[in-house]
Amino acid sequence: MIATSARRVAPAIVALALGVSLTACGDQNGGTSASGLTGTLNGGGSSAQATAQDVWKSGFQTDNSGATINYNSELGSGGGRTGFNDGSLDFAGSDSYIKDDASKGKEGLELTAATARCGGEAPVEVPAYVSPIAVIYNVKGVDNLQLTAGTLAKIFNDKITKWNDAEIVAENPGAKLPDAAISPVHRSDESGTTENFTDYLAQAAGKAWPHAKDKVWPAGLKGESAAKTDGVVGAVTSGENTIGYADHSAIGDLTAASIQVGKAYVAPSAEGAAKTLAVSKPVAGRSDVDMAMDIDRTTTEAGAYPIILASYLIACQHYDDAATADLVKGYLSYAISVDGQNAAADKAAAGSAPLSADLQAKAAAIVAKIAVKK
């Protein structure tokens, strides 16, 4: 993973804004997980979660030295959901919530498959990692790029192809925009980051983005494709006049564009991501152990940054053996605890936005019910 960018809002500010205490409570809602657990737990999925997973593994294994937590971020969100559904993973990380999409045939029935994998019970799905998706670019001499949703959509939809296009110029008075072709970079793999990015474009850009949100980049569009978060960041970094999208924690020294929200242009930040999640609503019709969220991409809330991912941890309510159930419950409890959330929020770590007090308590209560099958 590329080093975390220094452009971060202090996590303490975010936590205070959300009403999250920085002091661990010591119970299932606010404190750390139980200590002394042993065994091996296999998880995988979201590459955006990779740095946070490293932080959580370190914190959890400090109190559970006999436990080994494996998390394969090379799978990406789609691979993580597949691995969970086929039983090869005990838990998964995903940058989009599980759902059924009958238009994609049997492979699109992911929620149905997850329910079957969990013995006919709805899977546990709780948000654990909330982060802005940065619109990253590498254009010599341009340090403060500003873009509306419509202009951003036209760039990725092959309608604006030059950096000195009149629309970009109008949004960036005084900027030295080159007379050069734009080189867009998108994910080549099935990706929750792509689904969140295309969801923003579909909701906020109107007719400028005629495609539905999807985990897979729309076929037929030009641009370079790259696998996983690091692949996109690497392609934008090594190229010239490039633009792409990636989890903000992974952009390294690249510059991120500011996106118009209301009448202001807002740069990606943990605080901005937290504000967007705070005004978003739960997905209707989900089970009582499923905290899927519909992100409000068109909010005009001051300071909100709407291109975010709310990345989930996915597990079963019950497992066949007690050791696995205890490990899944213990590890997920730590990840969503105040301690785990603040550890990931540290700017030297993942720089994510901690869950609000209400969301954190609800997630903790759900995870606390994970148990062995009777």
Where is the binding site for phosphate, in residues? 46-48, 77, 95, 191-193
Which is nearest to 195 in space by CA: 54, 73, 97, 105? 97
Q: Which residue has the tokens 């737990």?
A: 41
Backbone angles phi, psi at 38, to 5 degrees: -130, 165
Stated as kind and residue range, the H or E segment containing 80 is helix 76-85
Pair type for strands 146-147 and 258-261: parallel
173-201 burial: b if 16+ Cβ within 10 Å, else e: eebebeeeebbbbbbbbbbbbbbbbbbbb
Pair type for strands 281-282 and 264-266: unpaired
Alpha-carbon distances, residue 315 vs 51, 102, 371 (angstroms): 20, 23, 11
DSSP 3-23: PPPS----HHHHHHHHT--SS
Which is nearest to 93 in space by CA: 348, 344, 315? 315
Pair type for strands 124-138 and 146-147: unpaired
Amino acid occupying residue 50: A
Q: Coil, strand or helix: which one is 303? A: coil
DSSP 32-56: PPPS--EEEEEEEE-STTHHHHHHH
| CB atoms inside a 10 Å sphere around CB 35 | 12
Q: Coil, strand or helix: which one is 201? A: helix
User: Residues 136, 255: contact at Cβ < 8 Å?
Assistant: yes
The residues, ordered by sequence, that sit 6+ positions from 220 with a Cβ below 8 Å of its Cβ are none
> How many residues are listed for the chain in this entry?
374
User: Residues 246, 194: contact at Cβ < 8 Å?
Assistant: no
Compute the distance between CA of residue 1 and CA of residue 239 in angstroms, rounded to an integer. Answer: 19
- Residues belonging to the binding site are 46-48, 77, 95, 191-193
